A and B are shown apart, each in its own frame.
Chain A
């Protein structure tokens, strides 16, 4: 049995993060996806920020390729999480496929936070949090999608502002230093600047140039 504190950490993170699924379900419906498609997004893509990005680009009138590209670029960090988790988990076959699918911010975060309790607790933290977020995220996606479907006109219920507010909420905890806050402000300015010049949806992708330019050389 994993330590009780590990189980508690995994459960509280799973529930808290899972509730965000309501916002995704609603955003997905507002972008024009069906309830079934919204649920499949959470089941198959299962990486929150990427899901929000894909439906966000669609909602702003972008092309399918832009939506997929934005989501994929936001998901690259999951590869780096996988590199950290693979030596810890040591799994093959179907268990590796499952581990890969639940490799997200939260499962990796809880696993790493259990380091003082040993690698058994780290593994438990990874699996419990990954599966826990998966369960709650999908339940709340369905609730959000059904809720938004019954509400009708997104603007009338403020859904069109809830989506950028959700992005702001996802961005906020990442702005740990003045430098990162400046990168965020520069990215917003850049996105506004190129909006009138490019087809809808493309400004979101092109703004990655700010990250590449800033990160190219060590500070």
Chain B
């Protein structure tokens, strides 16, 4: 991505993120309180984060691929099952993936 586009992503994300926060502090309480909106809103982080795991872990451009990152994610999953804290999960995944990358 070009430097200009990176700035657009940065400033666009910041502007929208802040607007959403300010909206919450500014609208009457009964707004945004429909049950449907609440249900969908609770599920959005789960769907998006799941898609991001897949997009970052198993995709190169528009192809689904299995590579060294899978080893890292498998270790991350094991660490999460073992109730490891977040930094341990991330570092263990990185170390494993790097090892497989160099061995390969």
Contacts and interface: CB of A to CB of B under 8 A. Distances in A.
A192 interface: yes
Interface in B53-67: 53-59, 61-64
B21 A73 contact: no
Interface string A121-133: 0000000000000
B82 to A, nearest CB: 12
6 contacts: A47-B17, A61-B61, A75-B16, A75-B20, A83-B27, A167-B49
Contacts of A216: 36, 39-40
Main secondary structure of the interface of B (DSSP, over half): helix
Contacts of A20: 86-87
A59 B55 CA distance: 9
Interface residues of B, number: 77
Interface string B43-81: 111111111111111110111100011011100110010
Given A80-B32, A172-B80, A216-B36, A204 B72 contact: no
B103 interface: no
Given A87-B29, A207-B48, A218-B35, A158 B94 contact: yes
Interface residues of A, number: 98
Per CB-CB distance, the 10 closest pairs between chain A and chain B, nearest first, are A82-B24, A161-B72, A158-B94, A161-B97, A165-B93, A158-B98, A164-B57, A187-B50, A79-B24, A207-B51
Contacts, number: 314
B30 to A, nearest CB: 9
Contacts of B48: 49, 53, 70, 73-74, 187, 204, 207-208, 211
Interface of B: 1, 5-14, 16-18, 20-27, 29, 31-33, 35-36, 38-59, 61-64, 68-69, 71-73, 76-77, 80, 86-87, 89-99, 101-102
